[in-house]
């Protein structure tokens, strides 16, 4: 049972690697029990929850008012996380015995994992340019350029990883073991993790500096409050991405270290247990982003409530909750002042206020309250003059 789940050793970023598959060594009861709990219980459950969370990420991040270069990267990452979790579930639940299909699923897992690593790196670099070099960021950090970069990363990740499918046939070739496998390790483990550490450190420094500057700005004149709010929003976005990268590093580094250790020393039961835990951490990394976005980003939470609680918001008690800021009750206030002599105006103005809100709600924009208010005021005034023609001039 110890070697039937992961028949193919894998030293890339994919967590589905069994370091003892080629040795035939006996496994202790602790290592076997750890593997059963992790691969047959925890990973399938986390994979299902992670797929659901990433679907929610895609729905929220793809709204029109959420479109930005950064959110394009996060949407692409969510897609590859879904693929990774689906293949992980397939390998741990459906394909429990070695077969030709396992080789296909293994390479698909590697492609999804390696592409996700580089997508994480690209949006980290993109955010660094936008925050630390804003003038260049206006030119480089655009949605159009983000689409090209995402497409290039996805194609390159698939092309570079696909030769791993032939590992059972040419895995013993010196050129494959020393050349290709070391290239994969460098491209998808050591290089991206090193760059992520560097750029994430620079982003943390920029966030700390921005916080100090914003504090000084708030002590200045009131005319700078708008700039301060905009800077605060950018800082929150950067902080969210920093958290995503930190979780990525925490979950990926143990697996990278164990892959290196497994290549240089004999496999032990302790190493097998650590590999099972490393497998679990990498799956958690692909499943946890929805929790991170919801915890850190207020805009993500507001959009989520708008998209998924829209039906509830259309009911009468919660009708005005969506536009909670500003004067969202202007139309009823106008009605109060004008209906002293006509009940018909009151009924008409109430309907106008309701229709104005529903038109905005159907348009999909979570803000911009003025059109509904202005429409309501204009129609209420017309009705009032129809009921009181002596006031026309």
What distance lies between CA 219 and its chain's CA centroid? 35
pTM above 0.85, yes or no: no
SS (HEC) of 214-282: HHHHHCCCHHHHHHHHHHHHHHHHHHHHHHHHHHHHHHHHHHHHHHHHHCCCCCCHHHHHHHHHHHHHH
* 17: DSSP letter: -
* Total residues found in the chain within this entry: 393
In sequence order, the 6+-apart residues with CB closer than 8 A to the CB of 51 are: 82, 85, 86, 89, 287
Dist CA 279 CA 18 (whole Å) = 10
Q: Identify the sign of the CA torsion 178, 183, 186, 189.
A: negative
Q: CA-CA distances (angstroms) from residue 340 to 334, 336, 388?
A: 11, 8, 11
pLDDT digits (tens, 9 = 90+) for 65-115: 888 999 999 999 999 999 999 999 988 877 666 666 788 888 999 999 999
Q: Which residues of the chain have pLDDT under 50?
A: 1-24, 223, 315-373, 375-393
pLDDT digits (tens, 9 = 90+) for 305-318: 988 887 555 543 33
Q: Which of 70, 79, 74 is nearest to 128 (CA)?
A: 70
Multiple choice CATH, 29-307, 1.20.1070.10, 1.10.3720.10, 2.60.40.650, 3.30.530.80 = 1.20.1070.10
Determine the pLDDT at residue 96: 64
Q: How many CB atoms lie within 10 A of CB 43?
A: 27
Q: Which of 200, 230, 205, 201 is nearest to 217 (CA)?
A: 230
Determine the pLDDT at residue 84: 96
Determine the pLDDT at residue 241: 85
Domain spans in the chain, listed from the N-terminal domain onward: 29-307, 316-391
Determine the pLDDT at residue 43: 93
């Amino acid at each position: 049972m110890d070697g039937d789940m992961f028949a193919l050793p894998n030293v890339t970023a994919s967590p589905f690697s069994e370091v003892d598959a080629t040795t035939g060594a006996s496994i202790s009861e602790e290592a076997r029990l750890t593997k059963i709990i992790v691969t047959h219980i925890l990973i399938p459950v986390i994979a299902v929850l992670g797929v659901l969370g990433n679907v929610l990420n895609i729905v929220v991040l793809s709204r029109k008012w959420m479109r930005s270069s950064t959110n394009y990267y996060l949407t692409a990452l969510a897609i590859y996380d879904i693929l990774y979790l689906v293949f992980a579930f397939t390998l741990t639940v459906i394909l429990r015995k070695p077969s030709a299909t396992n080789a296909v699923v293994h390479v698909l897992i590697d492609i999804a994992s390696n592409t996700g690593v580089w997508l994480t790196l690209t949006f980290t670099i993109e955010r660094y340019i936008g925050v630390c070099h804003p003038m260049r960021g206006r030119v480089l950090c655009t949605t159009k350029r983000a689409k090209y970069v995402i497409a290039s990363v996805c194609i390159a990740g698939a092309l570079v990883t696909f030769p791993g499918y032939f590992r059972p046939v040419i895995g013993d070739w010196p050129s494959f073991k020393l050349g290709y496998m070391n290239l994969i390790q460098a491209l998808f483990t050591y290089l991206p993790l090193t760059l992520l550490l560097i750029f994430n450190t620079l982003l943390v420094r920029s966030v700390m500096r921005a916080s100090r500057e914003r504090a000084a700005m708030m002590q200045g004149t009131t005319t700078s409050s708008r700039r301060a709010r905009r800077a605060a929003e950018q800082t929150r976005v950067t902080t969210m991405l920093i958290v995503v990268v930190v979780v990525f590093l925490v979950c990926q580094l143990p697996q990278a270290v164990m892959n290196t250790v497994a290549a240089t020393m004999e496999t032990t039961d302790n190493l097998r247990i650590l590999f099972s835990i490393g497998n679990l951490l990498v799956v958690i990394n692909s499943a946890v982003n929805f929790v991170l976005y919801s915890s850190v980003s207020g805009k993500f939470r507001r959009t989520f409530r708008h998209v998924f609680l829209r039906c509830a918001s259309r009911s009468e008690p919660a009708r005005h909750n969506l536009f909670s800021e500003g004067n969202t009750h202007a139309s009823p206030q106008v009605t109060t002042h004008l209906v002293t002599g006509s009940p018909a105006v009151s009924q008409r103005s109430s309907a106008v206020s309701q229709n104005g809100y529903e038109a905005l709600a159907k348009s999909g924009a979570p803000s911009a309250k003025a059109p509904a208010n202005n429409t309501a005021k204009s129609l209420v005034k017309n009705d009032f003059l129809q009921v009181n023609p002596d006031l026309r001039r």
